[in-house]
Structure 1
Amino acid sequence: MHLFQHLRRGHLWLCMGLGLGASALAQTVVEHLPGAEGLALKVWVFHPAQHSPDTQRPVVVALHGCGGMYATVGSRKGQLSARHQGMTNLLLAQGYSVVWPDSLTPRQETSLCEQSMASRQVRQSHRRSDVHTTLAWLGQQAWTDPQRVALLGWSHGGSAVLASSDSRQKLPQPSVTPDIALAFYPGCSDALRRTYQAAWPVHLLLAGADDWTPAAPCVALAQKAGMSFKLYPDSHHGFDNPEGQVKHLPRVPNGQNPGMGVHAGRNPVTGPQAWQDVLEMLKKRWPDPVAH
């Protein structure tokens, strides 16, 4: 049966996303990397169990959104959220290592979602620095295939994908640079104003009904900068979350209609489809997860 059919029926959410803990699929390590301005950047590293420690393999650097990496309630509190753990397990099953830089808790933050843009102390310059710190560290690891590294970000982390891949930002380049970058529903207005230019292939996964980070500026950016994109209809911000349903979040001050809150939540059809699209794009880029 085609993987998408499994996804449509929810089997993959159970088997990879939520039914198995990380330990069933991976070896997990927490690292503290020396970052900019004396920051000890906390990085979670997940390795596929089927590979020996030094076997070179593709690596996905995953970037969390404004709510951070972790579940905040329930039995998973303090662990990766359902969406983050689900995608991690899905990538591990393909033979990829997955690396999650935590941009919030080392800066004494747990969530930015209810902060106005002007008041946020964690900005895209910080996220960009964290990406570069992580890439520099990956260049020193025997298990990193330096030719097969991807960025994958959601929302604020999707914006971090754009901030990190902008060739107009004159920053020292780490020894490892991404081969491809994928961004779920990023905020694109700033990049559109900056005359963004992609330093490597970038693909945007956009929500057609998004009133938090609307799709229209991203479509305009993709067309202007020559990036690929896919627009998922009838989908709100966070549509790929494997749990929950669409909710109104009245306390979020940023969005298409300031002061009126935003909507976010799962679409049981387009969410699995988008995850399948991620797998297919990576598979097309990297046909064999081990041999190079």
Structure 2
Amino acid sequence: MHLLQYLHRCGLWLCFGLGLGPSAHAQPVSELVPGINGLALKTWVFHPLQKTHDTPRPVVIALHGCGGIYATVGSRKGQLSARHQGMTDLLLAQGYSVVWPDSLTPRQETSLCEQSMASRQVRQSHRLSDVHATLAWLAQQAWTDRQRVALLGWSNGGNTVLASSDSQQKIPQPSVTPDVALAFYPGCKDALRRAYQPSWPVHMLLGAADNWTPAAPCVALGQQSGMSFKLYPDSHHGFDNPVGQVQHLPRVPNGQHPGLGVHAGRNPVTGPQAWQDVLDLLKQRWPDPVSP
């Protein structure tokens, strides 16, 4: 059944992220991945239930935004947020393993969203190093299909997708490198200024109404670099969130109009479309069937 039909029957996204998805019983494993400067990078690793431990399968490294991995309020507090759990369940149902590096709590942070860029202690260089550490760790796992590793990031994690895929990087590459990457509503101004060119295929999923990380620089970046992108109409930052509604966040200082806050929240039409697009893009890159 097509994802949009399935989600409609389940009540849009309520199937995923709220314990109702087909892979809802897959339990994560917490792994400490060696990072730079002695940091123990905490990661959450999810495997499809039907896979044996040493069966190679595609892997998606999922990169959280400025708010971190976890829900901070409600019944899911301390667990993966509804969006993160929903996307995880969706990918597990396709037979992919999913790895979530936590770039914040090992560095004594819970959220960066209300911090100015200049005051942030967790910077893109840290997040880039976390990706490289995770890739190096995946290279040692028997279940990693080294030819099918993807990056998938949201917002600040989308920035990390761009930084990780920049062909101008001088950082030594790990023995496993991503085959494809997808970025939800990244901030593209810095990449645009430095004439970014992707090292592997990157696709951006952008909200046309986003006033936090506006789409226009990303559209220009895509046109300049040849990178693919899709612009979703009437969609704010976080439009793929399966729960909640659009809200004004007055304390976020880094938006399109500093001092006026930003808007973020789900679009019940374009959000599921974007999730289906994620699946379709991965299947285009990895056309061989994957047994869940």
TM-score (norm 2): 0.96
Q: Distance in 2 between matches of 1:237 and 1:9?
A: 26
Match of 1:36 in 2: 36
Tell me whether 1:13 sits opposite 2:8 in the alignment.
no
What's the secondary structure of 1:48's corresponding residue? coil
Tell me whether 1:56 sits opposite 2:56 in the alignment.
yes
Deviations along 1:242-282, whole A, 9 cap, x unmatched? 00000000000011000000000000000000000001111
Q: Distance in 1 between matches of 2:22 and 2:127?
A: 25
Query: Conserved in 1, the CA contact under 8 Å of 2:24 and 2:89?
Result: no
In the TM superposition, residue 2 of structure 1 has moved relative to its aligned partner by 3.1
| Superposed counterparts of 1:192-207, under 5 Å | 192-207=192-207
What's the secondary structure of 1:17's corresponding residue? coil
Match of 2:180 in 1: 180
Q: Distance in 1 between matches of 2:256 and 2:12?
A: 33
Match of 2:84 in 1: 84
- Number of aligned pairs? 291
What's the secondary structure of 2:16's corresponding residue? helix
Deviations along 1:47-84, whole A, 9 cap, x unmatched? 00011111100000000000000000111111000000
User: Closer, same or farther in 2 for the Cα pair 1:154/1:66, shift >3 Å?
Assistant: same
In the TM superposition, residue 286 of structure 1 has moved relative to its aligned partner by 1.6
Structure 1 segments of 4 or more deviating over 6 A? Answer: none
In the TM superposition, residue 21 of structure 1 has moved relative to its aligned partner by 7.5
Moved more, 144-153 or 12-21: 12-21
Uncovered stretches (5+) of structure 1, i.e. residues with no partner: none
Deviations along 1:99-141, whole A, 9 cap, x unmatched? 0000000000000000001000111111100000000100100
What's the secondary structure of 1:231's corresponding residue? strand
User: Closer, same or farther in 2 for the Cα pair 1:14/1:263, shift >3 Å?
Assistant: same
Uncovered stretches (5+) of structure 2, i.e. residues with no partner: none
Match of 2:112 in 1: 112
In the TM superposition, residue 11 of structure 1 has moved relative to its aligned partner by 4.2
Q: Distance in 2 between matches of 1:269 and 1:138?
A: 35
In the TM superposition, residue 5 of structure 1 has moved relative to its aligned partner by 2.8
Match of 1:243 in 2: 243
Instruction: Name the Cα RMSD after superposition.
Output: 1.5
Query: Conserved in 2, the CA contact under 8 Å of 1:63 and 1:154?
Result: yes
Which amino acid counterpart does residue 212 of structure 1 have in structure 2? W
Match of 2:224 in 1: 224
TM-score (norm 1): 0.96
Which amino acid counterpart does residue 15 of structure 1 have in structure 2? C
Query: Conserved in 2, the CA contact under 8 Å of 1:8 and 1:269?
Result: no
Match of 1:259 in 2: 259
Deviations along 1:156-178, whole A, 9 cap, x unmatched? 00000001110101111111111
| Superposed counterparts of 1:129-208, under 5 Å | 129-208=129-208
Query: Conserved in 2, the CA contact under 8 Å of 1:17 and 1:90?
Result: no
Query: Conserved in 2, the CA contact under 8 Å of 1:46 and 1:99?
Result: yes
Query: Conserved in 1, the CA contact under 8 Å of 2:236 and 2:263?
Result: yes
| Superposed counterparts of 1:83-102, under 5 Å | 83-102=83-102
What's the secondary structure of 1:145's corresponding residue? strand
